[in-house]
Amino acid sequence: MKYQIAYISDSGNTEKLALGIAKKFSEDEIKVVNLKENEMTDEADVYFICFGMNRGSVPYKILECAEQLDNKTVIFFVTCGLEPREKHRIEVGRKILPFLPNNCIFRGVFMCRGEFPESVLKTAEEKFFDNPEHEYARVILEDAQMSCGHPNQFDIDNAYRIICENLGLK
- Please state, in angstroms and rounded to a whole number, the distance separating the CA atoms of residues 160 and 54: 23
Flag whether pLDDT at 138 surpasses 90: no
Flag whether pLDDT at 47 surpasses 80: yes
CB-CB contact of 145 with 124 (8 Å): no
The pLDDT value given to residue 67: 96
**Preceding peptide of 101 cis, ω within 30°:** no
Instruction: Name the pTM for this structure.
Output: 0.89
pLDDT band at 133 (very low <50, low <70, confident <90, very high): confident
Share above pLDDT 70 across residues of the chain, in percent, rounded to a whole number: 99
Which CA distances in Å does 119 have to 8, 11, 95, 153?
19, 11, 26, 25
